[in-house]
């Protein structure tokens, strides 16, 4: 087995890793394991590195994994010039770690067994002690990432910075609903009136809105008004296609899951049974899903999505990718589900405005593919998109 120090250089020798950072860390008397990408770190640790798909964000947000027991460190390559004061800590001696010899001879793959990581950064401790600091820190991050869009929308940006407590996974209404309705009608080969009826159903679901509002009010870092954005498209697809098995990767609070479950509940009331498997890597995800909808129709799996998908054996009728938005991870999810897609399955990419993973897959397999982009109302954010592929329907 390699020693920790030799792993850094061995990784570098395999290619793609700048050894400068790890060497600096080793020089400080610590052992270092280098991951070549956020995907590798995510796969190896089950940590949420995948939340930071861009190198800039990785560098800014985190990148250092430290064993609380023996100080072995894992470092993301983009982070290596300035390891920051906060990172993810693992404990090789945690009962779940699966490591027989505490961190000695660690390779990145060894960390895959380590389940006992915890976040103990100084900043994050402060977060917990004083939520307004978390919001301020989050706003600072948002401004760093979106300042160009913010300058173009000064009024909505000012509103966002002053009265909207959200710092991630922004929620908003969309101003191009009619476009969405036409898009779905075309893609599902139905009349626009059928889609419009489903949108009206969401609008009149006061029970769901009240449940979500009550839960959101408990969170100072969330807007208390549930706004579904492009997720209303997901709802319409579930209502109109009546899938038996829906899989959503990336749950976050559970706003999308709630809407999907509301649609499945209505389908069941009409005699069409269906269920949702919702997968997220972070424990605590899905907290927003109302109790009423947490029935046998709902399975929440806390696990890296690729592992969780590997455990699914029933045919998937609707697959929604909304987890790690790096192109390679998204493509890996499609490759993993392909084995269990039903003959007329629908795949939705919630990231199709950024990557071409679903479009490329559809092109390679001769499936029909189309893209629609939302326009957020009263928000600086430029909006995300829905990429939709229909298995078995000719391109």
Ligand X SMILES: C[S@@+](CC[C@H](N)C(=O)[O-])C[C@H]1O[C@@H](n2cnc3c(N)ncnc32)[C@H](O)[C@@H]1O
By CB under 6 A, name the binding residues for ligand X. Answer: 42, 48, 50-51, 169, 231, 249-253, 255-256, 279-282, 285, 304-305, 322-324
Q: Which is nearer to ligand X, 53 or 87 (CB)?
A: 53
Query: What dihedral do alpha carbons 370, 330, 373, 201 form, nearest 10°?
Result: 90
Match 């009423």 to its residue by tokens. 292
Q: How far is the CB of 247 from ligand X (least distance, A)?
A: 11
Alpha helices in the chain (DSSP H): 4-14, 20-27, 38-45, 55-61, 108-111, 122-129, 131-152, 154-162, 177-188, 192-203, 206-216, 231-241, 255-269, 305-310, 327-338, 357-365
Q: How far is the CB of 74 from ligand X (least distance, A)?
A: 17
Q: How far is the CB of 32 from ligand X (least distance, A)?
A: 23
Q: Which is nearer to ligand X, 153 or 252 (CB)?
A: 252
Q: Tell me if residue 65 falls in helix, strand or coil.
A: strand
Q: How far is the CB of 371 from ligand X (least distance, A)?
A: 18
Q: Which is nearer to ligand X, 5 or 307 (CB)?
A: 307
Instruction: Identify any residues that bridge with 299 across adjacent strands, giving them in sequence order.
Output: 277
Q: How far is the CB of 366 from ligand X (least distance, A)?
A: 28
Q: Which is nearer to ligand X, 253 or 374 (CB)?
A: 253
Contact 394, 388 (CB under 8 A): no
Match 């089950």 to its residue by tokens. 46
Q: Using CB atoms within 10 A of its CB, is residue 95 exposed (0-12), middle (13-18) or buried (19+)? A: exposed
Q: Which is nearer to ligand X, 5 or 173 (CB)?
A: 173
DSSP 378: S
CA distance 50 to 364: 26
Q: Which is nearer to ligand X, 4 or 250 (CB)?
A: 250
Nearest residue relative to ligand X (C-beta)? 256
Q: Which is nearer to ligand X, 187 or 322 (CB)?
A: 322
Q: How far is the CB of 311 from ligand X (least distance, A)?
A: 13
CA distance 390 to 343: 9
Q: How far is the CB of 100 from ligand X (least distance, A)?
A: 26
């Amino acid at each position: 087995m390699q020693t920790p120090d030799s792993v850094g250089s061995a990784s570098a020798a395999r290619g793609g890793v700048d050894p400068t950072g790890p060497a600096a860390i080793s020089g400080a008397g610590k052992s270092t394991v280098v991951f070549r990408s956020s995907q590798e770190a995510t796969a190896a640790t089950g940590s949420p590195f995948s939340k930071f798909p861009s190198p800039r964000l990785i560098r800014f947000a985190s990148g250092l994994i430290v064993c609380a027991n023996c100080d072995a460190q894992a470092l993301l390559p983009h982070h290596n010039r300035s390891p920051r004061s906060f990172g993810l800590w693992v404990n090789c001696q945690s009962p779940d770690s699966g490591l027989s010899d505490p961190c000695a001879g660690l390779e990145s793959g060894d960390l895959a067994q380590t389940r006992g990581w915890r976040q103990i950064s100084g900043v994050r401790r402060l977060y917990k002690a004083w939520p307004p600091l978390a919001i301020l820190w989050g706003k600072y991050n948002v401004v760093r990432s979106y300042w160009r869009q913010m300058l173009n929308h000064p009024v909505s940006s000012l509103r966002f910075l002053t009265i909207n407590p959200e710092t991630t996974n922004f929620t908003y209404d969309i101003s191009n609903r009619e476009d969405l309705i036409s898009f779905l009608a075309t893609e599902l080969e139905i009349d626009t009136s059928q889609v419009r009826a489903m949108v009206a159903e969401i609008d009149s679901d006061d029970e769901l809105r009240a449940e979500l509002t009550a839960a959101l009010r408990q969170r100072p870092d969330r807007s208390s008004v549930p706004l579904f954005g492009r997720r209303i498209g997901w709802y319409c697809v579930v209502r109109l296609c009546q899938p038996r098995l829906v899989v959503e990767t990336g749950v976050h609070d559970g706003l999308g899951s709630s809407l999907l479950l509301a649609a499945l509940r209505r389908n069941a009331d009409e005699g069409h049974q269906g269920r949702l498997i919702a997968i997220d890597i972070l424990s605590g995800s899905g907290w927003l899903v109302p109790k009423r909808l947490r029935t046998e129709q709902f399975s929440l799996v806390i696990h890296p999505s690729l592992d969780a998908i590997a455990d699914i054996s029933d045919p998937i009728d609707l697959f929604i990718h909304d987890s790690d938005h790096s192109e390679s991870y998204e493509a890996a999810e499609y490759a993993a589900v392909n084995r269990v897609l039903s003959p007329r399955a629908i795949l939705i990419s919630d990231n199709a405005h950024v990557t071409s993973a679903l479009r490329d897959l559809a092109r390679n397999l001769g499936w029909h593919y189309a893209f629609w982009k939302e326009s957020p109302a009263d928000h600086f954010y430029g909006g995300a998109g829905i990429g939709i592929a229909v298995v078995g329907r000719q391109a």
